[in-house]
Amino acid sequence: MNPMIKQLIRKDWQINRNIMAIYIGVMLIANVMLLADPNNIVFGMGLILILTILFIMCIHLTTSNVISEYSQKTVTFIMSLPVSARQYAIAKLAANLSMFCVPWLMALVSSWLIILSSDSLPNGLTALATLGLVEILLSYCLIMMMGIVTESQHGAIGAMAIANLGFQAFLWGMLKIPAIAQHRDSNELAWNSTELSILAIQLVVIIGLLGTTLLIQQRKTNFI
């Protein structure tokens, strides 16, 4: 990796180290809460806490690491360093994705472990949990892309609204698909073709969003 990109990623991590420690800490607590019986209120609260942390991070990381670089004019300082617009965009995407992915992976792995180790939760639920979490990752990529591309709060807020509606529609749609609904209630671990197709589409959209962000940034002629 280009040393300048590495420096910029490290810089974003250092700037956000305190808040990241809080996010990871709260995510750990939420994961511990999931160890409770699925019928217990603590389990439900843990689930809500995990989703809340991820949604807050979608908004907060984009606002503090992307939008505020423009509004606080720190982007002028960064772009005066030996860095190209493309390198800046790659670093910004990599830093933000890695920051989001630490708690996100914690949520993903713990959801699998808890479902698979619990007698009261069917193993088939792992597919739905995974698709739901990948959808949140997709939403984050969309919000981050709009933040980077539009450099404005309005763009990011618009993307947040779309992502929020999209997530609700996604969950509603998932439960309406018979293949997913049946698998959710079964103890079968292997994914069916419908779930694999949806995952593939989600991954293609995520890659598309990241690629589009780089492409648009590369074609910009004004950076400040």
Partner 1 sequence: MNSHAVELHNVGKDYKYFRLNDISLNLPTGSITGFIGVNGAGKSTTIRILLGLVHQDRGSVQVLGQSMPDQQVLAKREIGYVSEDMRLYPKANLAWHMQFIQAIYPNWDQAYAEQLLKRFDLRAEQKIKGLSHGQRVKATLLLALAHRPKLLVLDEPTTGLDPVARQEVLAALMEVLADEQRTILFSSHNTLDVEQISDHVAFIDQGSIIESTSKEDLLDLWRRLRVRITPGQSVSELPHIVQQQGNGQLQSFITNRYSPALHQTYEQAGLEIQAIEYLTLEEIFVASIQARREGKTL
Residues of this chain that interact with partner 1 (CB under 8 A) are 4, 7, 11, 14-15, 72-74, 76-77, 79-84, 87, 221-224
Min CB(10)–partner 1 separation in Å: 8
For partner 1, give the closer residue by CB, 112 or 223.
223
What's CA 145's distance to the chain center, in Å?
Answer: 12
Which are the contacts of 208, defined by CB distance < 8 A and separation ≥ 6?
none
| DSSP letter for each residue of 132-160 | HHHHHHHHHHHHHHHHHHH-SHHHHHHHH
203 within 8 A of 65, measured Cβ to Cβ: no
- Length of the chain, please? 224
Min CB(159)–partner 1 separation in Å: 25
Q: In angstroms, how far is the first alpha carbon of the chain from the final one?
A: 26
For partner 1, give the closer residue by CB, 116 or 224.
224
For partner 1, give the closer residue by CB, 55 or 223.
223
For partner 1, give the closer residue by CB, 86 or 118.
86
